[in-house]
């Protein structure tokens, strides 16, 4: 159970270190008075995203996750895909995390289903008040850039011991890059 989730967790380490360097490059040090930081925000209560596992890219076995998240229903569904260039994907499995009933279903590509208890809570949409603002940065080059604001916070309750670093769009707090390190679940 816990290990299933760790697959997703370790995932964005490469991006995270890129992000760190981008931040360091953006804020080389003294001389500029920092603007007053924004306040922690809330992700949309439901959204879907295609998430690339940047760590898996280095293995030549690139994984994508189609993530569907609904806080009101306390439901998160992750379709795991393997990416085969050019532009083709194969479904590996689907994980259905039903936090309301504390159960986790794993459906294999062949349709076999296994269920296990889910022993940690769903990530809340709102960052905690103690979230640390890391600054604003961007991905891209020249006139072709995407800006986002970066935050870091921990959750050490409800079966979770994680640190999440996340880049969100400034206007809507939509997550665009993230790394989660730590453990989920009791074992
Ligand atoms: C969370 O993990 C960190 C690093 O492994 C550890 O030092 C800390 O004691 C853990 N905290 C809790 C509440 O389990």
pLDDT, tens digit (0-9, with 9 covering 90-100), for 131-167: 999 999 999 999 999 999 999 999 999 999 999 999 9
* Cα of 161 from ligand 1 centre, angstroms: 6
Residue nearest atom 4 of ligand 1, based on CA coordinates:
182
What sign results for the dihedral spanned by CA atoms 75, 43, 51, 180?
A: negative
- Is residue 136 within 6 Å of ligand 1 at its C-beta? no
CB of 156 closer than 6 A to ligand 1?
Answer: yes
**Cβ of residue 183 lying under 6 Å from some atom of ligand 1:** no
Q: What is the pTM of this model?
A: 0.77
Asked if 51 contacts 177 with a C-beta cutoff of 8 angstroms, the reply is: no
**Distance (Å) from CA 2 to ligand 1 centroid:** 15
Q: Is the CB of 161 under 6 A from ligand 1?
A: yes
- On the question of pLDDT at 17 being above 90, the answer is no
Is the pLDDT assigned to residue 15 strictly greater than 50? Answer: no
Residue 166 has a pLDDT of 97
40-62 pLDDT tens trace: 999 999 999 999 888 887 887 88
Task: Give the mutation target among 155, 159, 161, 180 for probing the ligand 1 site: most ligand atoms within 8 A of CB.
Answer: 161
pLDDT digits (tens, 9 = 90+) for 86-137: 778 888 999 999 999 999 999 999 999 999 999 999 999 999 999 999 999 9
| Cβ 187 under 6 angstroms from ligand 1 | no
Phi, psi at residue 152, to the nearest 5°?
A: -140, 135
pLDDT of residue 90: 86
The pLDDT of residue 182: 96
φ, ψ of residue 23 in degrees (nearest 5): -65, -40
Partner residues linked to 135 by β-bridges:
150
Q: Whose CA is nearest to atom 9 of ligand 1?
A: 161
């Amino acid at each position: 159970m816990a290990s299933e989730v760790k697959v997703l967790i370790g995932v964005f380490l490469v991006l995270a270190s890129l992000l760190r360097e981008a931040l360091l490059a953006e804020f080389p040090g003294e001389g500029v008075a920092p603007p007053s930081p924004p306040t922690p925000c809330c992700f949309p209560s439901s959204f879907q995203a295609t998430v690339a596992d940047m760590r898996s890219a280095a293995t030549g076995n690139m994984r994508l996750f189609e993530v569907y998240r609904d806080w009101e229903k306390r439901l998160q569904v992750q379709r795991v895909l393997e990416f085969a260039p050019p532009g083709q994907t194969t479904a590996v499995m689907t994980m259905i995390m039903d936090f309301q009933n504390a159960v986790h279903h794993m459906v294999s590509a062949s349709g076999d289903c296994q269920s296990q208890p889910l022993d940690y809570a769903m990530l809340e949409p709102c960052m905690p008040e103690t979230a640390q603002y890391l600054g604003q940065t961007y991905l891209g080059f020249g006139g072709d850039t995407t800006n986002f604001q970066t935050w870091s916070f921990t959750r050490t309750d409800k079966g979770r011991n994680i640190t999440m670093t996340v880049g969100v769009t400034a206007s809507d707090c939509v997550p665009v890059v993230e790394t989660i390190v730590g453990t989920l679940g009791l074992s």
